[in-house]
Amino acid sequence: MLAKRIIPCLDVKDGRTVKGVNFVDLRDAGDPVELAWQYSQQGADELVFLDITATHEGRKTTVDLVKSVARQVNIPFTIGGGINEISDADILLNSGADKVSINSAAVRNPEIIDNFAAAFGKQFVVVAVDTRFVDGGNYVHLSGGRIKTAIRTEDWILEAQERGAGEILLTSMDHDGTKNGFDNNFLKEINQRISIPLIASGGAGNQQHFVDTFQQANVDAALAASVFHYGEILIPDLKQTLKNNGIIVR
């Protein structure tokens, strides 16, 4: 049986981890490579790096970072943030990234999903979607949830799948940062309508939230950041809790 995946997400800027990290054994809390290695040792199934580097010079650092991670970490990882063109994705995949994640760029120009899928294969293309519930429905949001679009989230996800997305990473901006649990109702609704893997994101606060999203929404993977970075949830403990609840994990 395919195992449910647990995915820590790291925000990086100019090759350094941005958000505070509180690991006991860490020599350098700002070093994404060391963090990634720690997570792989703890039993994380996959990693996502969200690159919030703004400058062109900084993006070169990102390529070096991807290479360093690939050299030292033996689990798959995705890199997202600022990937607008085939050439951006190409250099990252050739530097050892397993997948690239695209978000705003795909909303602005949906054809890049088709182009990426044709160039690299669907399995390399993760479409990340930020959603917020407003005016009685879920709408796609851009720029970290700040800018609302007129696009219904369910319509966009179905279009992304049709165009060649290999996975959907769905973040509920309403739940993100609340630590009140994932948006399982909406995740379930989406999951029933798509035939590609769905990664839940936004709202993880405790171990039960992971149990709930796997049991209620049957998502393929769950992603979180702060609960892992601050050591509030240790991955081996989480895996044990999931096992105890009959959820298949590695």
Partner 1 sequence: MIGIINYGAGNIFSLTATLARLGIDYGMVNTAEEIDRYERIIIPGVGHAGAAMQKLKESGLAEHIAAITKPVLGICVGMQLMTAFSEEGQADLLGLFPMKTLDFSGRISLKVPHVGWNAITPQQGCPLFKGIEAGAYFYFVHSYFIEYDAAYTAAVCEYELTYSAAIHRGNFYGVQFHPEKSGPVGEQLLLNFSTL
Residues classed as catalytic: 11, 130
Which C-beta is closer to partner 1: that of 48 or that of 173? 48
228 burial (CB, 10 Å; 0-12 / 13-18 / 19+) is buried
Which among 49-57, 91-99, 100-108, 130-138 is the span making contact with partner 1, rule CB under 8 A?
Answer: 91-99
CB atoms within 10 A of CB 124: 19
Quote the least distance from Cβ 220 to partner 1, whole Å. 7
CA-CA distance, 65 to 216, in Å (whole number)?
A: 36
Quote the least distance from Cβ 97 to partner 1, whole Å. 8
Query: Is 87:53 a contact under the CB 8 Å cutoff?
Result: no
Of 168-187, binders to partner 1 (CB under 8 A) are none
Which among 28-36, 140-148, 177-185, 193-201 is the span making contact with partner 1, rule CB under 8 A?
Answer: 193-201
DSSP string, 126-171: EEEEEEEEETTEEEEEETTTTEEEEEEHHHHHHHHHHHT-SEEEEE
Asked if residue 197 binds partner 1 (CB under 8 A), the reply is: yes
CA-CA distance, 196 to 129, in Å (whole number)?
A: 14
Asked if residue 243 binds partner 1 (CB under 8 A), the reply is: no
Which C-beta is closer to partner 1: that of 122 or that of 152? 122
Asked if residue 67 binds partner 1 (CB under 8 A), the reply is: yes
Quote the least distance from Cβ 74 to partner 1, whole Å. 5
Which among 63-71, 102-110, 170-178, 235-243 is the span making contact with partner 1, rule CB under 8 A?
Answer: 63-71
Helix (H, G, I), strand (E, B) or coil at 75: coil
Among 221, 224, 233, 242, contact with partner 1 (rule: CB under 8 A): 221
Query: Is 233:202 a contact under the CB 8 Å cutoff?
Result: no
Buried b (16+ CB within 10 A) or exposed e, 175-184: bbeeeebbbb
Total residues belonging to the chain:
250
Q: Between the CA of residue 98 and those of 19, 39, 75, 140, 151, what are the distances in Å?
A: 23, 17, 9, 26, 29
Helix (H, G, I), strand (E, B) or coil at 103: coil
Which among 81-89, 106-114, 189-197, 227-235 is the span making contact with partner 1, rule CB under 8 A?
Answer: 189-197
Which C-beta is closer to partner 1: that of 123 or that of 185? 123
Among 22, 55, 109, 123, contact with partner 1 (rule: CB under 8 A): 123
Residues of this chain that interact with partner 1 (CB under 8 A) are 1-3, 5, 40, 45-46, 67, 70-72, 74-76, 93-96, 98, 120-123, 166-167, 195-197, 220-221, 250
